[in-house]
C-alpha cells in the first residue's frame, strides 16, 4: 500500500481548523487568538525542524548525536514543567529534571533492549520516538502530580500542621497528600488503557496503519506503548513527588510553603 503524499500546499488547507477555533475565540472572547497563532507557527516550525533533525540523526546513527537529542528532549520537558508549575518557595527544576531523566532512560532502555530487542539498543529509529512518547507522557504526569501536591499542601495546611504539632514527622503529615499526588499523575495513563480501541485510536497505531504496516503488528506496538506509559507515569510521579515533598519541609519538620 502506498501512502498518499500530502504536500505542503494541501497541508496549509488544514489551517481552516485553526480558523474555526479563532472565530470561536473572537465570538466568545476567549482571548486565545494569540496562543492559537503562536501555537500554529510553533507546530509547523518545530515539527519541520525535528523532521530534518531526525533524518540527519537516523542517517548518521552516531551515539553522540543520539545522546545530544536525548538531552535536548529532557531539557525541554523539565523546562515545560518548570513553566507550568510556578512555585516560588521550593525549587522544582532539579527534582523534575532528575525524575524525567531516570524515567526516560530507564523505561526507554528496557523497552528497546528487552522488549523490542533492538540492536544496538540505542538505534535512533526506535530509541527516539519511543523515548519521545515516554518523555511527553511523563512530563504531563509529573506536572499534574506536582500541581496537585503543592496546591493540597497549601489548601490543607492546617491538617498537615495538626499532625506535625501532635508529633508526627513530615512523612506522617504528608502521607495522604503524597498518595493523592502520585495518583493524580497516574490516572490519565491508567484511564487511557480503559478506553483505548473503544474510543481512541492512538496516534502511533493509526500512523503505522496509514504507513502500511500490518494492523496486527501495529496493535502489538500500541499495547507495548500503553503499558510502558503507565510504567513511565508511575515512575516519574513517584520520584518527583518524593523529591519535592522533602523540600517542602525543613529539617525540623516545619512546613516551608
Partner 1 sequence: MVHRVRRGGVTAAPIVELKGLALKRGDVSLLESTDLALCAGERLFITGPSGCGKSTLLRRICALESGSENQVMVYGRPVSQWVISDLRRTVAYLPQIPVMVEGSVRDNLRLALSLRVYSGVELPDDNLREGLASLDLDLDLGADASRLSPGQKARVALLQRLLLKPDVMLCDEPIASLDSANADRVIRALQRAGAEGMAQIIVSHQPLSDFPGRRYQLIAKRLEANA
Q: Residues interacting with partner 1, by CB under 8 A?
A: 158-159, 161-169, 172, 250, 252-256
CA distance 239 to 100: 9
Nearer to partner 1, 66 or 248 (CB): 248
Q: Which is nearer to partner 1, 86 or 166 (CB)?
A: 166
Cα–Cα dist 212/208, whole Å: 6
The CB-side HSE value for 91 (13 A sphere, CA atoms) comes to 4
Burial grade of 225 (CB within 10 A; 0-12, 13-18, 19 or more) = buried
Q: To the nearest whole angstrom, how small is the minimum distance from the Cβ of residue 168 to partner 1?
A: 5
Least separation in angstroms between CB 254 and partner 1: 5
Which residue in 16, 228, 20 sits closest to 141, CA to CA? 228
Closest approach of Cβ 164 to partner 1, in Å?
Answer: 6
In whole angstroms, the minimum distance from the beta carbon of 182 to partner 1 comes to 20
Residue closer to partner 1 by CB (options 123, 246) is 246
- Mapping DSSP onto H, E and C, the string for 73-93 reads HHHHHHHHHHHHCCCCCCCCH
Of 70 and 170, which CB lies nearer to partner 1 in the complex structure? 170
For residue 48, how many other CB atoms are within 10 A of its CB? 11
Closest approach, Cβ 64 to partner 1, in A, equals: 46
When the beta carbons of 8 and 252 are compared against partner 1, the nearer one is: 252
CA-to-CA distance for 152 and 156, rounded, in angstroms? Answer: 5
Amino acid at each position: 500500500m502506498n501512502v498518499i503524499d500530502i504536500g505542503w500546499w494541501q497541508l496549509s488547507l488544514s489551517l481552516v481548523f485553526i480558523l474555526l477555533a479563532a472565530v470561536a475565540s473572537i465570538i466568545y472572547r476567549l482571548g486565545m487568538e494569540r496562543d492559537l497563532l503562536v501555537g500554529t507557527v510553533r507546530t509547523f516550525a518545530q515539527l519541520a525542524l525535528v523532521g530534518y533533525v531526525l533524518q540527519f540523526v537516523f542517517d548518521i546513527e552516531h551515539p553522540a548525536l543520539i545522546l545530544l537529542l536525548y538531552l535536548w528532549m529532557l531539557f525541554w520537558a523539565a523546562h515545560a514543567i518548570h513553566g507550568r508549575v510556578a512555585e516560588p518557595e521550593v525549587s522544582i527544576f532539579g527534582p523534575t529534571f532528575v525524575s524525567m531523566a531516570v524515567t526516560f532512560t530507564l523505561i526507554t532502555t528496557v523497552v528497546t533492549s528487552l522488549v523490542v530487542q533492538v540492536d544496538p539498543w540505542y538505534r535512533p529509529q526506535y530509541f527516539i520516538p519511543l523515548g519521545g512518547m515516554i518523555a511527553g507522557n511523563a512530563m504531563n504526569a509529573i506536572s499534574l502530580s506536582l500541581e496537585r501536591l503543592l496546591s493540597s499542601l497549601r489548601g490543607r495546611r492546617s491538617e498537615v500542621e495538626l499532625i506535625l504539632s501532635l508529633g508526627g514527622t513530615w512523612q506522617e503529615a504528608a502521607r495522604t497528600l503524597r498518595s493523592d499526588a502520585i495518583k493524580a499523575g497516574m490516572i490519565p495513563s491508567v484511564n487511557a488503557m480503559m478506553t483505548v480501541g473503544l474510543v481512541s485510536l492512538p496516534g502511533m497505531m493509526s500512523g503505522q496503519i496509514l504507513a502500511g504496516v500490518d494492523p496486527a503488528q501495529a496493535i502489538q506496538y500500541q499495547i507495548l506503548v500503553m503499558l510502558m506509559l503507565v510504567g513511565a507515569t508511575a515512575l516519574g510521579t513517584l520520584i518527583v513527588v518524593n523529591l519535592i515533598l522533602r523540600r517542602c519541609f525543613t529539617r525540623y519538620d516545619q512546613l516551608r510553603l
